[in-house]
Amino acid sequence: MSTPAQESAVTRRLQSVKHIILVLSGKGGVGKSSVTAQLALSLYASSPTARVGVLDVDLTGPSIPRMFGVDDQGVHQSTSGWVPVYADGAGARLACMSVGFLLKKKGDSVVWRGPKKNGMIRQFLSDVRWGDLDYLVIDTPPGTSDEHLSLMEHLAGMHERLSAVIVTTPQAVALMDVMKCLSFTRAVNLPVLGLVENMSGYACPCCGVVHNVFSTGGGEEMAKKEEIGFLGSLPVDTELVSLLDGGPTSQTEFALLEAYKKTPSAKLFENIVTGVVEKLT
């Protein structure tokens, strides 16, 4: 449980954040972190003044620093709190925070019990100098765990600014897991902006045409049945994976964003972001 002073520290710190979007998935490995990264990049690119924060709450498997090509960097403490790592360098419009920045060595693992995780999440929300943000996108662990409950507890007073995006793959097992995610959002009264079906088909590396290898469309059907929005499908995209799993690290010209814009996924993600922004306004 947090004390009233701790809660008001979170409220003060996040008072100039317009929208807080939790990225959820019922199952691991469906591409939740890559959707988080793409959502942040696409929101950033949606306007020359958009300010975006990315908070990696996947404490035991942080992948945001690697995906943004900033895993060699660390956050530093200032008198007014932790200074996040800016993925766009001097642009300072894309702020990232992850436990990955605090580990001594890359690949070190975090083995913490619930209360310690809860304390870390509270610190991420209250101690990071997020500044004015249009969007704070939060990458959560798979399933519904201590981390999700901590987030909902600390963000309880900000309900009108909170929403979620759910990521799934077309396979039935993952879709069954979406139901667990949905029942969590309903139990905690968290509005769902919509569902993204990831790894839906395969984008040809030569021409970008998407081929359906396995069944697709299950996500859209489920979204309709559960009366939540369907934001779109993303194919297996080899260009995306080589970019996010070890792409450009130069931040001066934000090389990652420029390289991302050339992937088949970027074009498809534009529609997803349009859907997200429409629902938020």
58 interacts with, out of ligand SF4, ligand ATP, none, CB within 5 to 8 A per kind: ligand ATP
- Nearest distance, CB of residue 64 and ligand ATP, angstroms: 9
Across the strands, what pairs with 25?
167
Tell me whether residue 89 or residue 143 sits nearer to ligand ATP (CB atom). 143
85-86 sheet: strands from edge to edge? 85-86, 94-98, 52-56, 133-139, 17-25, 162-168, 192-197, 230-233
Nearer to ligand ATP, 51 or 219 (CB): 219
Nearest distance from C-beta of residue 245 to ligand ATP, angstroms? 5
Please report how close the Cβ of residue 268 comes to ligand SF4 at its closest, in angstroms: 16
What percentage of the chain's residues is helix, strand, coil (to nearest 5)?
Answer: 40, 20, 40
The DSSP call for residue 84 is P
Give backbone dihedrals phi and psi of 17, rounded to 5 degrees, phi first: -105, 120
Q: For residues 33-72, which are near ligand SF4 according to CB under 6 A? A: none
**Is 169 a residue that touches ligand ATP (CB under 6 A)?**
no
Q: Does 238 bind ligand SF4 (CB under 6 A)?
A: no
Q: Does 30 bind ligand ATP (CB under 6 A)?
A: yes
**Which tokens hold the place of 205?**
């590396």
Q: Is 25 in the site for ligand ATP (CB under 6 A)?
A: yes
150 closest CA partner among 7, 5, 280, 34: 7
Among 14, 51, 63, 275, binds ligand ATP (CB under 6 A): 63
Q: Report the largest interatomic distance among the alpha carbons of the chain, rounded to a whole angstrom.
A: 56
206 interacts with ligand SF4 by CB under 6 A:
yes
Residues in the interface with ligand SF4 (CB under 6 A) total: 4
Told to check if 168 binds ligand ATP by CB under 6 A, we report: no
Q: Which residues contact 255 (CB under 8 A, 6 or more apart)?
A: 69, 247, 248, 249
Query: Which parts of 213-242 interact with ligand ATP (CB under 6 A)?
Result: 234, 236-237, 240-241
Using alpha carbons only, how large is the chain's radius of gyration in Å? 18
Is 181 annotated as ligand-binding?
A: no
243 and 260 in contact (C-beta within 8 Å)? yes
Is 13 a binder of ligand ATP (CB under 6 A)? no
**Token digits for 42?**
């696409």
What separation, in Å, do the N-terminal and C-terminal C-alpha atoms of the chain show?
33
Alpha carbon distance 274, 46 (integer Å) = 9
Contact residues for ligand SF4 (CB under 6 A)? 204, 206-207, 209
Contact residues for ligand ATP (CB under 6 A)? 25, 28-34, 58, 61, 63, 142, 198-199, 234, 236-237, 240-241, 244-245
Known binding-site residues equal 26-33, 204, 207
